[in-house]
Structure formats: C-alpha cells, structure tokens
C-alpha cells in the first residue's frame, strides 16, 4: 500500500469540498442567501485545511496542523450557522460568537499542547483535535433537530442529522485510536486509520450533497407556498375590489337619498310657481282674454320654471347614472356646478355663502360618475358640518388651481373642523363623525382619487374649519 494513500484521500476530499462550494455558489448566484454563503465558506475552509495538511512535511506545524485544524473546526461550525439561517424565525438567525471564538481557543490549546510535547504531534493533541471536531458535529446535529421542528418535509434534515452523528462516531474512534496508541498521526498507514478517514471523507461528501438536495427541496416547497399565497392574495384582491364596488354603489345611493329632501324642495318650488301661473292664466283667459302681453309674460315664466325643473332632473340623472364606467375628460367647473345645483336649496336654507373660484379651462381625466360621488361627499360633508354648527357667517369656498401638470381642488368651510389628531383617520373604512354617517364616503373618495393617480388630504384651518385638498393630474 502506497504511503500516499491517505494523503490521496485528503486531496480527493479537498477537491470534493471545493466542487460542492462551486456547485452551491452556482445554484445561489446573486441570491445573497446567507445559509448558502455560510455553507460555501465551510466547504472552502475544509478544502483549504485538507489540502494544506497534505503538505505537512514542507510547512511548519503551526500552519499545517494548529491553524488547519482550527480552520476545519470553523468550517463545521459554519455549517451549523448555515442551518440556523433556514429557520423561519428571524431571531434564530443571530450569529453565534462561539463560531469564531471556539476555533481561536482551539488554536491556542493545540499550540500549548504541541509545545508541551516538544514541538511534535502528540496523542493528546490528536485526541483533543478529534474531540473538538466531534463536539462541533454534535452542535450541527443539535441545529438540525431544532430546525426539523420548525419546517415541514424534514426527511433530508433528519438524514443530515444522521450524517452528523456518524461523523461524531468517526471522531470518537479516532480519539480511541490516539489514546491507545494505535494511530497517532493522521497519515499512519494502518487499516483502521484508513477505514476511519475513508468513511469520514465519505460522510463529509454526503453531508454536502444532502445540503444541496435539502435546499432544492425547500426551494420547491417555498415556491409552491408562494404560488398558493399569490393565488389567495389574488382572490382576496378580487373580493376587495368587489367590496369596494358594492360600497361605492351603497355610498352613491346614500348620497342621493341624503339629497332627496333638497331635490324635492328644489323641484316643488318651480312646480308650485308653474301651477300658480297656470291658474292665473286660466283666470285671465276668462276675465281678460285680450291682454296678450300679460299672457306672454306669464307663459315665459312658466317656461322658465319648466326649464329649471328639467335642468335639476337632468343633473340628478347624470349623478345617479351607473352606465358610465369609462374614464373621460371632465370639465371641473361644469362638474362642480352640476353637483352644487342639486344642493343649492339646502345651502340657501342653511344660510351658507358659497364661493367657487375655478377657471372654465381646467380638465381632468376621470370617470365622471365617480368624480360626482367625490364632490357630493365633500360638499355634503361641508354643508352638514355648517348646518349643525353655530358658526356665524357660514361659508364654503371651492377653489381650483393648476400647478405644473396637476390640478389642485380645495374645499374649505368655517365650521367646527375635524377632531384633533383624526385628520388621517377620517379616510378609514366605517369611521364617521356624523350621527347618521355610513363611514364609507370619504374612504371611497380616497380610493377613487388614488386609482386615478391623485391624492386627497384633510386638515384643519388655523382660523377654524376644515379643508380637503385633492390633487389630480391635469388632462
């Protein structure tokens, strides 16, 4: 049997460890996977340690033995750190300082024992080295058992724990050989020594291959889990969109219903005037049918009242329509006037002064039906706040301005304002500060604005009152 037999095994193990490191690096290229990085580092250190040990005759023992056994111990502990990174709990991924401290202490201990032995390798050094290697593998075994309790599909983890135990067994046999004097040096060409190193190298190679298979299995499992999560998330988003559409319809109905009394008052006024004029015409036809100018004047008044009713019904019809689902170019001033015309009577009966400052040339791209809902919500909120307050000189100011490529619309009132600290909460679902509020109007308004690339914020004015500011891209 050649004297190079065990050295050849060491070189083969060095090449296999290097190959494992390169394979893992290729599998996790640009992934920044901490577990893979630790395992690659462990394989590289094993490759360096075993290859350098072969050159022991030409290198001082402080390097070829003391330093290399420290490298090997560090590599085994890095395998343990690699396994910790696979835990789903972030707290488990914390780096253990023993991983660095143990190899350093091991280096000092081995050097101390070597000096006691006169600079040569002694049985106690071999036994100490094997004991520390075995202890490091026990630590790896402990990590695999902890990890198997936190992951599903643990077959390869259990197999890996068996490999670590088998390596512990090999190092125990190595300790026994050193203590009884059968084999002190690593390269002693004795049968049991050769068998121990052969199986140690075999188990080490299987350990690296098992890690690769384990990571592939975990990757497939994670991929399947992410697919399921994506499917569930997609379903939840669909449900969310359906809920938003339902709430939007509900909010729209609530907003229109809230205007019912106002609309009735608006329509009853011209209808009542029309009825009186018609009765007056009937009376004049009986008593003074020749007074044509007066009859023409009364007829013009009737036509005016009919046109007024027609305009109110037309605007209401546009506000209540659910047929327009497409985005289009909307004239801001026209849309404001359409909404205000519906609430005009309520504004006047509450003695609210309304000021609108907007250029007729401002346009936005938005669904007109949804934009009407936003305006109804904000203007109604301002009217309700002022109606319930004792503020003198009640007023609502609507101003629109253009900045660069954005349209800024501001609706201000001088009412009681928003409760302090709740400026952002009022946009949350089912949050309302009105006794009969549904808690969905402002939330849906925010959703509509955000979907169209804009934003809406609310704040209190320094002199009292609330202000809602909408920003949307200009058409």
Over residues 9-47, the pLDDT tens digits come to 889 999 999 999 999 999 888 888 889 999 999 999 999
Closest CA to 399 of 470, 315, 328, 346: 470
Residue ranges of E strands in 339-413: 353-357, 363-366, 395-403, 406-413
- Identify the residue whose tokens are 């992934």: 31
User: What's the confidence (pLDDT) of residue 98?
Assistant: 86
DSSP assignment of 291-346: -HHHHHHHHHHHHHHHHHHHHHHHHHHHHH-----S-EEEEHHHHHHHHHHHHHHH
Cα–Cα–Cα angle for 25, 26, 30, rounded to 5 degrees: 75
Q: Please answer whether residues 471 and 404 qualify as being in contact, where contact means their C-beta atoms are separated by less than 8 angstroms.
A: no
- Identify the residue whose tokens are 């005009």: 344
Q: State how far the Cα of 49 lies from the Cα of 274, in Å rounded to an integer.
A: 105
Q: State how far the Cα of 136 lies from the Cα of 150, in Å rounded to an integer.
A: 22
Q: State how far the Cα of 185 lies from the Cα of 169, in Å rounded to an integer.
A: 18
User: What's the confidence (pLDDT) of residue 322?
Assistant: 45
Q: State how far the Cα of 158 lies from the Cα of 213, in Å rounded to an integer.
A: 13
Q: Which residues of the chain have pLDDT under 70?
A: 1-4, 220-228, 244-270, 272-273, 276-277, 284, 286, 290, 295, 298, 304-305, 307-325, 421-425, 428-441
Q: State how far the Cα of 113 lies from the Cα of 107, in Å rounded to an integer.
A: 10
User: What's the confidence (pLDDT) of residue 234?
Assistant: 74
HSE-up of 256 (CA within 13 Å, CB side)?
Answer: 16
User: What's the confidence (pLDDT) of residue 165?
Assistant: 94
Q: Three-class SS of residue 423?
A: coil
Q: State how far the Cα of 344 lies from the Cα of 366, in Å rounded to an integer.
A: 25
DSSP assignment of 46-76: HHHHHHHHHTGGGS-HIIIIIIHHHHHHHHH
Q: State how far the Cα of 107 lies from the Cα of 61, in Å rounded to an integer.
A: 12
Q: Please answer whether residues 333 and 400 qualify as being in contact, where contact means their C-beta atoms are separated by less than 8 angstroms.
A: yes
Q: State how far the Cα of 91 lies from the Cα of 257, in Å rounded to an integer.
A: 55
User: What's the confidence (pLDDT) of residue 2?
Assistant: 44
* 20-49 CB burial, b ≥16 within 10 A, e <16: bbeebbeebeeeebebbbbbbbbbbbbbbb
User: What's the confidence (pLDDT) of residue 284?
Assistant: 67
């Amino acid at each position: 049997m050649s004297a190079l037999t065990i050295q050849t095994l060491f070189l083969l193990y060095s090449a296999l460890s290097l190959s494992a490191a390169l394979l893992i690096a290729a599998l996790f290229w640009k992934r920044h996977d901490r577990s893979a990085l630790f395992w690659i580092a462990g394989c590289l250190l094993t490759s360096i340690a075993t290859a350098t040990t072969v050159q022991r005759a030409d290198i001082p023992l402080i390097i070829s033995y003391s330093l290399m056994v420290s490298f090997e111990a560090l590599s085994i502990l890095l395998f343990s750190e690699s396994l910790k990174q696979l835990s789903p709990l972030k707290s488990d991924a914390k780096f253990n300082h023993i991983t660095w401290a143990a190899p350093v202490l091991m280096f000092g201990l081995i050097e101390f024992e070597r000096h006691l032995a006169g600079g040569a390798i002694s049985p106690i050094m071999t036994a100490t080295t094997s004991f520390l290697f075995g202890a490091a593998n026990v630590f790896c075994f402990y990590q695999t058992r902890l990890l198997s309790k936190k992951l599903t599909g643990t077959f390869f983890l259990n197999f890996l724990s068996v490999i670590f135990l088998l390596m512990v067994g090999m190092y125990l046999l190595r300790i026994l050989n050193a203590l009884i004097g059968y084999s002190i040096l690593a390269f002693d060409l004795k049968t049991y020594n050769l068998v121990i190193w052969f199986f140690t190298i075999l188990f080490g190679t299987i350990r690296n291959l098992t890690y690769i298979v384990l990571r592939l299995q975990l990757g497939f499992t994670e991929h399947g889990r992410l697919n399921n999560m994506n499917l569930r998330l997609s379903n939840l988003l669909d449900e969310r969109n359906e809920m938003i559409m339902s709430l939007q319809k509900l909010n729209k109905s609530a907003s229109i219903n809230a205007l019912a009394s106002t609309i009735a008052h608006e329509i009853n006024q011209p209808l009542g005037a029309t009825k009186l004029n018609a009765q007056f015409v009937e009376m004049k036809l009986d008593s003074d049918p020749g007074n044509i100018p007066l009859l023409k004047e009364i007829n013009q008044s009737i036509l005016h009242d009919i046109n007024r009713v027609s305009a109110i019904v037309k605007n209401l019809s546009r506000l209540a329509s659910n047929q327009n689902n497409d985005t289009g170019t909307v004239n801001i001033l026209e849309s404001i006037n359409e909404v205000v015309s519906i609430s005009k009577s309520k504004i006047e009966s509450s003695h609210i002064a309304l000021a609108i400052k907007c250029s007729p040339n401002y346009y936005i791209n938005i669904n007109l039906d949804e934009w009407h809902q936003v305006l109804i919500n904000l203007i109604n909120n301002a009217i309700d706040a002022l109606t319930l307050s004792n503020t003198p000189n009640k007023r609502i100011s609507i101003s629109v301005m253009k900045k660069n490529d954005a349209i800024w619309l501001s609706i201000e009132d001088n009412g009681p304002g928003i409760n302090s600290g709740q400026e952002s909460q009022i946009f949350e679902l089912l949050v309302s500060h009105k006794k009969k509020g549904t808690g969905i109007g402002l939330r849906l308004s925010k959703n509509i604005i955000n979907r169209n690339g804009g934003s809406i914020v609310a704040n209190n004015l320094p002199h009292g009152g609330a202000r809602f500011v909408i920003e949307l891209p200009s058409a």
